[in-house]
Amino acid sequence: MAPVGSKRGILERLGAGEVVIGDGGFVFALEKRGYVKAGPWTPEAAAEHPEAVRQLHREFLRAGSNVMQTFTFYASDDKLENRGNKLTFTGQQINEAACDLAREVANEGDALVAGGVSQTPSYLSCKSEDEVKKIFKKQLDVFIKKNVDFLIAEYFEHVEEAEWAVQALKATGKPVAATLCIGPEGDMHGVTPGECAVRLVRAGADIVGVNCHFDPMTCVKTVAMMKAAVEKAGLKAHYMTQPLAYHTPDCSCQGFIDLPEFPFALEPRILTRWEMQQYAREAYKAGIRYIGGCCGYEPYHIRAVAEELAIERGFLPEASQKHGMWGSGLEMHTKPWVRARARRDYWEKLKPASGRPLCPSMSTPDGWGVTKGHTELMQQREATTKEQLRPLFEKADAKY
């Protein structure tokens, strides 16, 4: 076990051209396991059920992750208390517990710890820059106290708020990564991916990219747009992508949360492990060296990324001991027709069926077009009332 501070840092690794593999989507993974509540999506499980968070960290480490990201998504005080969400732990307790768990598991391998902050209800409610930065500062105080290796500002729909986050994170002296949850159309105010990236680099981000909201290939395309703009501006940065594990060809600017299936009926869209290998290869070819995942990702998806890039990394992850490359383990199957599938070309050419003969292949996004500044997006500490829900139901019913 390497002592804290003895491992090579994130910028040292990326600067040497190494592939850094991120982890997956803790919020969705732990919701499916019964430790996160869909709706608020807050990470109190780090304090309530540390054994569950610890185990998921270990599974991602074993699958090949180089980064244990603290389970602090939506762990700002304003989000923890939003819309009647009642917790028995404070934001500080949750953030501290998450840091301790990430460090414990990171020290079991050659992994780094990243402390993460996310977009805030305060920004959506049009609070000032100083007010929003104070919220980030509370989380940052914990990250500095716990001496995380680097910081990530992730899941921002508006580049302005992401800039504020980067500025706050940069003041710590730690390396800073910044990812927006945007696609090729840009942020929710129409700022292009390229301009977003340039603004984030100028704000102080060392690593820029995207996470969540869109499928892997869409995210690779978006980061390629960012990279081209940063280089055109004469700036330097490293690039990362942590996409969804869901196919989203029908998504608009808002991404998968605009799909009618969000969040409880997305399973038919999940990428196979072989599609994850294709994503890893395309990301690498695009010059992206920090390659991970977000919502929908399970450890086997990250293992697929690690296996695809095993030659570049120089090793396979520990979890590959129980997984034959390209299905080679099927050579041991009792049924001959299954043994016939123990080859790469079979899985690369396969067009998986959904088993749902009456279902469409794509959906129509809701497209409400609501973003910062709209009354419907103003947040509140009190629980949502039935009177507040009624016009939302009526608007949704009128659409369908």
Question: Which amino acid belongs to residue 241?
Answer: T
The answer to whether the annotation marks 294 as part of a ligand binding site is yes
Q: Find the length of the chain.
A: 400
Domain assignments of the chain as residue spans, ordered by start: 10-395
**pLDDT band at residue 400 under the 50/70/90 scheme:** low
Preceding omega of 299 cis (within 30 degrees of 0): no
Question: Which amino acid belongs to residue 223?
Answer: V
Q: What is the pTM of this model?
A: 0.92
| 179 in Cβ contact with 153 (< 8 Å) | yes
| 298 in Cβ contact with 216 (< 8 Å) | no
The answer to whether the annotation marks 359 as part of a ligand binding site is no
| Distance separating alpha carbons of residues 11 and 338, to the nearest angstrom | 44
Written as six digits, the tokens of 230 are: 């940063």
**pLDDT band at residue 399 under the 50/70/90 scheme:** low
The answer to whether the annotation marks 251 as part of a ligand binding site is no
Q: Which overall architecture, per CATH, does domain 10-395 show?
A: Alpha-Beta Barrel (3.20)
pLDDT for 261-282, tens place per residue? 999 999 999 999 999 999 999 9
pLDDT for 348-382, tens place per residue? 999 999 999 988 898 888 777 777 767 766 777 77
